[in-house]
Amino acid sequence: MRSGLVDFHCHLDLYPDHAAAVERCERDGVFTLTVTTTPKAWPRNHELASATRHVRAALGLHPQLVAERAHEIALWEELLPQTRYVGEVGLDASPRFYKSFETQKEIFARVLSLCAIAGDKIVTTHSVRATRVVLDIIEQHMPPPRGCVVLHWFTGTAAEAKRAVDLGCYFSVNADMLNNERRAAITKLLPLDRVLTETDGPFTQTDGRPASPSDVWITVERLARLHELPPSELCATILRNLKSVLSR
């Protein structure tokens, strides 16, 4: 098992055995940011992560759940001082969730405003079919000195990627992003000093099973191939980037 890997966006509480999934990350030495979809899920995630060296729990309110759970922003605000990590938050403008898009924007703006006031938060961000609006809200509510935004599973254009870089954003990349030729071409444009790796497990697959954080090595290998670098060098770059994010 390779150690020193980074899975900056994974849903450990959605695996069949949450505690075992956390223990596996710790045993394998994979720095894992376990995101939550509702603030009610955060305390248990935080409890399990607090006993580890390698796992951190992010406080989320997923945009796909905002239609039913917008009221939970009050609990999210109450819990925010207890964590540096925020996510999964953001916007989703796909047809199934577009009815709540205006409320999503209000929630996301509130999240970033409070993170900016705190000044030290790291925010992993969903932006399905909404990259431009996500960047607009980041620009308005969370300037780079006030925290760090990591765009999870980025699907924007080359111009939006450049704008995100100019706004100080990082990007977490998974293997599925590199399976698509057009998306891989956009990913290659991302500055390597702004790139982290992720699985988004269990929503992605490895060998016909839900991907686990240690499977992020596949992303390292594919990214290394994309940039014509040895995997060891790419892995070292990802670790430097993680340290840069955490030291902000």
The pLDDT, as a whole number, for residue 180 is: 87
Asked whether residue 176 is marked as a ligand-binding residue, the answer is: no
Q: Say yes or no to pLDDT of 85 above 80.
A: yes
Which CATH topology does 5-246 take? TIM Barrel (3.20.20)
Distance between CA 109 and CA 89 in Å, rounded? 10
Segment 139-166, tens digit of pLDDT: 999 999 999 999 999 999 999 999 999 9
Asked whether residue 88 is marked as a ligand-binding residue, the answer is: yes
Segment 101-145, tens digit of pLDDT: 999 999 999 999 999 999 999 999 999 999 999 999 999 999 999
Asked whether residue 54 is marked as a ligand-binding residue, the answer is: no
Q: Say yes or no to pLDDT of 1 above 70.
A: no
Q: What percent of the chain has pLDDT over 70?
A: 99
Query: Using an 8 Å Cβ cutoff, are 126 and 99 in contact?
Result: no
Asked whether residue 11 is marked as a ligand-binding residue, the answer is: yes
Asked whether residue 200 is marked as a ligand-binding residue, the answer is: yes
Query: Using an 8 Å Cβ cutoff, are 138 and 169 in contact?
Result: yes
The pLDDT, as a whole number, for residue 217 is: 97
CA distances from 226 to 45, 178, 179, 199 (A): 34, 9, 11, 18
